[in-house]
Every structure is written in C-alpha cells, then in structure tokens.
Structure 1
Amino acid sequence: MKIENIADLQVLVHTARGGTLTAAASALGITPAAASATLKRLESQLGARLFERSTRAMRLTPQGQTLLDYAVRAFELLAEGESLVQADRGALVGTVRVAAPSDLTRVTLLPWFDDFLALHPGLQLALSVGDRPLDVMRDEVDMALRYGPLADSRLVARRLADSRPALCASPAYLRRHPAPQTPHDLLQHNCLTFHRGGRRQRLWRFARHGHWTEVRVDGDRVVDDASLAREWALAGHGITLKSALDLQRDVASGALMRLLPDWDTEPYPLHALLPSGRFVPARVRALVDFLALKFASNPTQETGPKITA
C-alpha cells in the first residue's frame, strides 16, 4: 500500500525531532493517541517499522530514517511552492523561527525585529533567546544567530557583523580595585566567566604589536548564561570579557568602563546560520538581508569612558 495522506508524515517528522509521540502530538496540536494511531497507520501502509519503541524514547529504524529524509525534503518543496505563490502576491507570510543570544537580543535586536514585522505584517516571529547553542539541523529553527568561528560545515552562514570581545568593569568595581594595566594583572582580579558551547571560557587572549598573550583567569562566579555575566559586571562584582556588541550600550552610558583599550582581542564575528542550503524561504532570506543592512549601518560603538594605562 502507498501513503494515503501526506500530512501523516508530519507525525513522523515531529516524533523524530522530539523523541516521543507526546512531543509530536504537542507540536501538532493533537492528542498522543491520535499521533500513535497515525504512526501505526503509516507503518501498516508501508509494511515497515519506522521506530524502535522504548519506555523513554523512540529511535528511528533505518527504514524510518530513509522516509524521514524524503519527508523533510517533501515538506521543504511544498513550502518553496507556497512561498513562490505568495511572492507573486507581493507579501511575505508565515512564521520565522529565530534563535539568538540573550544580550544581543535585548541590547540590539528587539527594536530591529519590531521594524521588520512592521514592514511585513503577514509574518510572525518565533524567538528563542538564550546562550545555549541550539542544534540548527535538528531543532525547529529557520535561522540562528551565533558568535564565534564556524564548526559545522553542514550549515549555510552569512556574516552579519565583525566584533571583538571587550574587557569591561563597572566604576563601582574599579573604585575598590585598581584597573589592570596589562593582561597578567587580571590574575589579581575577580573575572566573571561563562560557558560557551559547553565549556567555561577561562582562557582570555590579548594582543599588542602583533604578539599574543594568554591569561587563565578565575573568579567567584561562573554561569551558563552570558547575559548574567554582564549583569554581574554592571553590579560591580568583577571584570567581564564579552562581545562589544553586547556591551556597547553600557559602555556608551558609562555603566561599564573599557579596560586595556590598547590591547586587541580575538575576532568574534556574528553569523546568521541556516539549517540547509537546499531551500531558504523568502521570509527567512528577507530577515537575513534586513539584519545585514542594520548591522552594516550600525557599527559597534567604541565610544564611552575607557581606562587607559
């Protein structure tokens, strides 16, 4: 027998993504019983088992993985067709699912998203904010904004901004502790570190006249959400090394002071990552282009108080 209803394949796709029928049912707005019945119907029509079931999760069989790959592509092609039809009417519609870092979203992106939605009233934005990197290939994300070098060759990337980490502390902290004059002075300071990509960022690198210096810093606070490291710095608890894009507003207002301004830090570019190069909906391309223009016209602010040697 053949598959009678292509919509049934949505249960396959969402079960594979979520790992359970309950997750698939929640994503599709149906009951777990209905999701289970749909999956059984698919398996009966195909004469093949699509998942190995256990009490905790469901794992794709080889036959299930094959069908999943084709189902995902089929839905991409349908979305492409819908997008082309809608483009003929001159309006973008649908949902753009974006994942972005916490501070970048709060400091820079929120008003830009407002402007984008005002330009395209037929669009909806589904925003996932946090510093835990999502798996763009697996999670339901159309685009992820990420700092740093690229490690996954399966992703399509567009560089949106060139940035470098800025070393900063609040005036309150600097009233209690003398400002560092060299990177090695940081060994005497409380440095606020955070996890990125599952690893604590303790090795801070600085360059002067082309020569690099590495300092293994430490402090009494570490967090897996980089936005809290910024909050701690603002509260006067220590020194942070964080993207200049995230700290630009605090530096411009004087809430944070730039330290060691004559020393360079490593490049920390911001990219828009897309999960597939095969098809990118027009609404996603439009948002990437919009953000690229915004970043190009709004370079990182380097103004504001600095502590110099």
Structure 2
Amino acid sequence: MYHLKDLQLAIRIADLQSVSAAGRELGMTPAAASAALQRLEKILDCQLFARSTRKMQLTEEGHLFIETGRKALHLLNGAENALADNRGELKGEVRIALPSDLGRNIVREWLDEFAQSAPGIKLNLYIGDQMTDLISQNVHLALRYGHLEDSNLMRRQLAMMPRVAVASPDYIDHHGVPTHPKELTNHKILLLHRGGEPWHKWLFSHKGAQYEIEVSASRSCNDGAIIKDWALAGKGIAYKSWFDVAKEVHQRRLSVLFRDQLADSIPLQLVYLQTDYPSHKVRTVIDFLKQKSQEFEGAYPLFT
C-alpha cells in the first residue's frame, strides 16, 4: 500500500506539471520526489505521467487515479476538519495568497497578530501581484482587488474602495500638481505590470460617468510595493488602491490627485474555491481579516 504523502505528491505533480516544484512544496528534494513517484507507479503497476523535458502530462490511467485520489483526499481532509470544527480547534496550516503591497505592509502584520493568538496555526503566505490560481498554488484563500468573473470562486467582501492617483510632496514641488487626469501625459508615470501586461489605462469619473486615461511609463514593475516605494521617493505618479496608500496619505507622505474625479469603488475580497466549505480555522481567519479591515477603514478614512 502506498503512503498518503505519495498521493499528495502525485496530485501536486499533476497540478504543477513538475516533479521538482511539487517536491519543493512538500519539503522534498527533486530526487526524493522522483523516487516517491516511481515507487507509487510501481505499487499501482501503471504509468501515471508521460515524461518530457518540459512538463509532466497525465496518462489516461493517471487522469483516472488522480481525480479519484483527489476526491478521496478531499474527503479525508473534510473528516479531519469536521473533528477540528467540533472541538473548536485552531491548528494546522493556512495557505493565503496576498497582493504584494497590501500583503507586505498591512495584512502580514494582521496575520502575525492572528498567529500569535493561535499558536497551533501555521501560516504559509504567497506574496505577489499575479492573479493566483487557487488550485495550482494550493491555497485556502486569496486576497484580491476588483470584480471577479470566475464562477468557481466564493467571495467574502472585506471593504470597498477607489483607486487613486498619488504623488509625493517632493515630486509635486519639482513637477507641479496636474489639475486634470489628461495632464498625466506630461508627467512621470509609475506603472504596474500585471500578468505580463502594463496596467496603462487608469480609470477616473466625472459627473457619474467613468472614463479612461491611457498613460505611458517612465518606470514600471510587476511588484506593487516597489511602485509605492518609487512614489514615496518622488520618482513619479502612481495609481493605487486606497488601502495601499491610506497610511502614507494620512501621514502626508503622499497626496491624492484628482479627488473630485475618483472612479467607482472596487471590492477587496477574500476568495476560495466553491467546492471547498471553509474549515473552522479558515472561517476564523476570514472573520479576523474582516474585522481588521473594518478597523483600518475607521483609522484611515478616505480623503475625498
């Protein structure tokens, strides 16, 4: 009989299409992961994956085994969660994907506070501005800005907020204050790349009608935290969600531009797979982050 960890490994290899990536996630060396897969295939007397130099593809038998194994593992995890729920226990791993700026500078501190109050919880954070695939990243929760179209995701809204154009006092002293978004073409723009594409269309609103301004970058990066660091250093104008810059605006380290032309607010949401009823530990994290978001809104109200 094979070990449960071998099944977990095979499922993650199927998700990531890589033995080494799946092994790293489970704390195994590439050699150990490869040996475990070979051991599992020998026990099952079938080849689960067609090997290539680029990725691992499931065979027909592999598809059958992995999908059935995934359901079995889900049932086992559900049974374990049911016991923890019944006992009101807060223990085990919680995997959360967070956007870079908000995750590094605000939410990580909140989660540190939560972990201190629940020592049985092991936090595993994934920080980045790419749109996380909950299955491939194997996360319980992802924190995301904006409206989501994926019908396979459940949502818990934490807050509503606009995106704002911001600049530092130093930048304004040297380059002046643009009075209308159309003047952004004459300024240094700090542009975020998301999914390999520049986020070069900034939304504003006038008399209830939203409109776009297309900008070009003097500096760009795929990390929102660096975009804010550049803005604080006076390198240009950034377009950020309110929570990302609320502290710095209240500290007068950044100024909100075009306050009378803010676009419609967007949601900040925690999302999880529709197939997963969140466990007690995950529900507790969701409720905690909702409470911290409300406290943050109260401490740093929007400047309009």
User: TM-score if structure 2 supplies the norm length?
Assistant: 0.91
- In structure 2, what is the equivalent of residue 155 of structure 1? 153
Q: Are 2:162 and 1:164 equivalent residues in the alignment?
A: yes
Q: Does 1:109 align with 2:107?
A: yes
Counterpart of 1:291 in structure 2 is 289
> In 1, Cα distance between the equivalents of 2:166 and 2:228?
9
Q: Residues 40 and 159 (structure 1 numbering): CA distance in 2 closer, same or farther, change over 3 Å?
A: same
Unaligned stretches of 5+ in structure 2? none
State the Cα distance separating 1:253 from its structure 2 match. 0.4
Q: Is 1:248–2:246 an aligned residue pair?
A: yes
Contact kept? 2:164, 2:239, Cα under 8 Å? yes
1:123-202 aligned at under 5 Å gives the runs 123-202=121-200
Whole-Å separation in 2 of the counterparts to 1:24 and 1:260:
47
Query: Offset of 1:271 from its aligned partner?
Result: 1.1
SS of the aligned residue for 1:212 comes to strand
CA distance in 2, matches of 1:116, 1:167: 32
CA apart distance, 1:33: 4.9
TM-aligned CA deviation for residue 68 of structure 1: 1.5
Q: Does the residue aligned with 1:138 lie in a helix, a strand or coil?
A: helix
Amino acid at match of 2:169: P
CA distance in structure 2 between the partners assigned to 1:245 and 1:4 by the alignment: 48
Matches within 5 A, 1:15-26: 15-26=13-24
Q: What is the alpha-carbon distance in structure 1 between the residues aligned to residue 108 and residue 29 of structure 2? A: 35
Give, as a single letter, the amino acid of the residue that structure 1 aligns with 2:12: H
Q: Alignment partner of 2:134: what SS? A: coil
More helix by share: 2
Q: Please, which of 9, 12, 17 is the counterpart of residue 11 of structure 1?
A: 9
Instruction: Decide whether aligned partners of structure 1 residues 192 and 141 sit closer, same or farther in structure 2, where only a CA change above 3 A counts.
Output: same
CA shift digits 1:88-145 (9 cap, x unpaired): 3332110101110121123321331122113322101111112122211211211111
2:262 aligns with one of 258, 261, 264: 264
- Residue 204 (structure 2) pairs with residue 206 (structure 1): yes
Counterpart amino acid of residue 198 in structure 2: R
Q: Deviations over 1:65-104 (max 9, x none)?
A: 2322222222222122112223333321101011101211
**In percent, how many aligned pairs have the same letter?**
37
Question: 1:214/1:89 Cα in 2 relative to 1: closer, same or farther (>3 Å)?
Answer: closer
Matched residue, 1:239: 237
Where in structure 1 are there 5+ consecutive unaligned residues?
none
How far residue 7 of structure 1 moved from its aligned partner, in angstroms, is 4.1
What amino acid is aligned across from residue 76 of structure 1 in structure 2? Answer: H
3-state DSSP class of the match of 1:238? coil
Counterpart-to-counterpart distance in 2, 1:4 and 1:298: 49
Aligned to 2:119: 121
Q: Distance in 1 between matches of 2:3 and 2:216?
A: 58
Number of aligned residue pairs: give it. 303
Write the distance in 1 (CA, Å) between the matches of 2:259 and 2:288.
Answer: 31
In 1, the alpha carbon distance for the partners of 2:21 and 2:236 equals 42
| Partner residue, 1:224 | 222
SS at match of 1:11: helix
Determine if contact 2:192/2:227 at 8 Å carries over to the other structure.
yes
What secondary structure is seen at the aligned counterpart in 1 of 2:137?
Answer: coil
CA–CA separation in structure 1 for the residues paired with 2:5 and 2:103: 35
CA contact (8 A) 1:91 1:120 kept: no
Q: Is the 8 A contact 1:99 1:127 kept in 2?
A: yes
Kindly provide the CA deviation profile for residues 253-308 of structure 1, in whole angstroms up to 9, marking residues without a partner as x. Answer: 0100111111122433211111343332221111111111221233173466x8xx
